[in-house]
Structures are given as C-alpha cells and as structure tokens.
C-alpha cells in the first residue's frame, strides 16, 4: 500500500513537471514556433559507447551508454520537429574508436572531434549521466568551457530551465575542463542529466516521462539562448 502511494506521488510530480515545461515552451518567442530555421545545425554527442559503458544505475542496472543514446534520440526528434538540422556523433550502442587502436578512449574522442568539426554546427550538446560516491548527490547540471562566453550563456540558459522543471537541479552551471568542450571553437556544453548513483534520481532517469521533461527543457534552453544571441 505504501509503495503504491509513493509511485502515484512520483507520477504526479512528473506530470506537474511536464506541465511546467509545456508552459515555459508556450512562452517562447513566437518566431521559434512559427518560422522553421533550416540553417541551424546542432551536434548531439551521446557520451560513452561500446566497451565504455560509463556509469551504471545501482537499482535498474541501466548503463550510461544506453541512457545517453535514448536521451539523444529523444532530443534529436524534438529538434528535427522544428526543422533544426541534427548531427549525432553516434546513433547506436557502439563506440566510435578504431577497434585496432591501443588507446580506444583517445581514438573515440578524436572521432567525435572529427564529426563535430566536419558538421559546421552552430552548437554542441553532449549528453551524460553523472555518478558520485556520495549517494545523496543528485541534480541535473550543465558544464561549459572556461572563457567560452557563448558556451557559458548556453549553459546558463539550459540550467535556468532545469531549475524550473526538474527536482533538485543544480542552481547554476559549472566550468568543466573536458575534451568535448575543448576540441572546437563551437559553443559547446555537457549536460549531466542526473546522478545514476542516487537511487531516487535513477528511478526518474529511466522513465519515459522524465526523459521527455529533460529533453524538452534542453530544447527550451537552446531556443532561449538563440533568442538572446
């Protein structure tokens, strides 16, 4: 009986989040809902892949490789519905590394860089799931490269929407020294969608409803960034 009540409350929270997210979407500048932008290209980089599964959920056993791809496909569909061109660094569970390489991590990252540079993209969104030894840590957060003014503005725009739509989202984005942020001059952010090491957040992250909420929040953050820049 207690479990049933908890589950019902969880779904009520998710429904409320989706309503908030939809409200924010309806408040966007009219230009983005009426005039498709066919000149805009966004790279979606789904982190990890192949032998590198990334973080693993303690309760569900779902790994980051799988979840990053699922979130990436959902975000891709949303963007393409508004005629935004999307380039995926990977579209399946395989890694991007050369199978004969002695350093598959470096090979994988170099391939991502090649895809990003060849895409001539306007923005790069790299999707990840977080993990931390302290199990109480939770909350979606966006990272940007230090000194990248546009990347910082994009990160702040997405984080502001997260704060409005996602429970326990971090209040501000943070600087990150990561390869995917440093490999090009294109405004780039890493979106840590939540902590798989936190049982409560893990249960949310694997649901279709929460995935939709996170991806629509990213989408709204991107559009708000474009409206201001």
The whole-number pLDDT of residue 62 equals 95
What are the residues whose beta carbons fall under 8 Å from the beta carbon of 187, sequence distance 6 or more? 122, 123, 124, 148, 150, 151, 153, 154
Q: What is the pLDDT of residues 138-172, one digit of tens each?
A: 999 999 999 999 999 999 999 999 999 999 999 99
The whole-number pLDDT of residue 229 equals 84
Q: What is the pLDDT of residues 47-92, one digit of tens each?
A: 999 999 999 998 999 999 999 999 999 999 999 999 999 999 999 9
**In the predicted model, is pLDDT for residue 14 greater than 60?**
no
Which is higher by pLDDT, 14 or 164?
164
Domains defined for the chain, CATH in brackets? 2-228 (3.40.630.40)
Q: What is the pLDDT of residues 168-201, one digit of tens each?
A: 999 999 999 999 999 999 999 999 999 999 999 9
**In the predicted model, is pLDDT for residue 6 greater than 50?**
no
**In the predicted model, is pLDDT for residue 15 greater than 60?**
no
Structure tokens at 206: 């694997």
**In the predicted model, is pLDDT for residue 31 greater than 90?**
no
**In the predicted model, is pLDDT for residue 25 greater than 90?**
no
pTM: 0.85
């Amino acid at each position: 009986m207690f479990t049933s009540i908890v589950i019902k409350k969880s779904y009520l929270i998710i429904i409320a989040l989706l309503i908030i997210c939809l409200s924010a979407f309806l408040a966007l500048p009219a230009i983005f809902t009426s005039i498709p932008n066919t000149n805009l290209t966004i790279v979606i980089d789904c982190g990890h892949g192949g032998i590198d599964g990334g973080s693993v959920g303690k309760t569900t056993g779902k790994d980051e490789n799988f979840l990053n791809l699922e979130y990436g496909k959902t975000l891709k569909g949303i963007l393409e519905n508004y005629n935004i061109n999307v380039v995926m660094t990977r579209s399946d569970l395989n890694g991007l590394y050369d199978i004969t390489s002695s350093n598959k991590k470096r090979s994988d990252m170099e391939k991502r860089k090649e895809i990003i540079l060849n895409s001539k993209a306007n923005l790069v969104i790299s999707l990840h799931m977080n993990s931390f030894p302290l199990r109480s840590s939770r909350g979606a957060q966006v990272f940007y490269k230090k000194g990248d003014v546009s990347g910082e503005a994009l990160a702040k725009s997405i984080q502001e929407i997260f704060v409005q739509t996602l429970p326990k989202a971090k209040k501000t984005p943070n600087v990150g020294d990561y390869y995917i942020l440093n490999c090009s001059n294109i405004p780039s952010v890493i979106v840590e969608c939540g902590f798989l090491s936190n049982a409560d957040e893990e249960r949310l992250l694997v649901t279709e409803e929460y995935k939709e909420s996170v991806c629509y929040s990213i989408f709204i953050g991107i559009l708000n960034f474009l409206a201001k820049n």
